[in-house]
């Protein structure tokens, strides 16, 4: 299995600012995934982060808004830029190991 540590667990941010979320996994993995869960909604994939290359973004998500870093095989960051109240969500990182998909504990972001 994989243990994923995500930081911060929650934050309240002012609109117009940026927040960087960190995700550390205890195993080396090729791909890490970032998901967003808006209030009362399901999970939507933001992007896939591969080590050594640019992240691949899903439709509706752009690098300028959600820049991602992937400096090594155990770590990734997601930045939520120029935040607005619509960005208030839970952000989760995920990794796949063998046939399992593991999730971090999530970052609950509130933008005021």
CB 52, min distance to another protein, A:
17
Give yes or no for a contact between 25 and 3, defined as CB atoms under 8 angstroms apart.
Answer: yes
Candidates 12-20, 66-74, 76-84, 99-107; binding stretch for another protein (CB under 8 A): 99-107
C-alpha pair distances (Å), 62 with each of 12, 27, 65: 23, 28, 6
Q: Which of 21, 33, 36, 89 binds another protein (CB under 8 A)?
A: 33
Say whether residue 14 binds another protein (CB under 8 A): no
Residue 108 CB contacts under 8 Å (≥ 6 apart), including other chains: 9, 10, 11, 90
| List of residues contacting another protein (CB under 8 A) | 31, 33, 41-45, 48, 92, 94, 96, 99-106, 108
């Amino acid at each position: 299995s994989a243990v994923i540590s995500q930081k911060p667990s929650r934050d309240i941010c002012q609109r117009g600012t940026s927040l960087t979320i960190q995700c550390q996994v205890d195993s080396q993995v090729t791909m890490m995934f970032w998901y967003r869960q808006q209030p009362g909604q399901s999970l939507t994939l933001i992007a896939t982060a591969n080590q050594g290359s640019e992240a691949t973004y899903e439709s509706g998500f752009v690098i300028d808004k959600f820049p991602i870093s992937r400096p090594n095989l155990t770590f990734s960051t997601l930045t939520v830029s120029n935040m607005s109240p619509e960005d208030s969500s839970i952000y989760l990182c995920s990794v796949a190991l063998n046939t399992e998909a593991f999730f971090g504990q999530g970052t609950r972001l509130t933008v005021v």
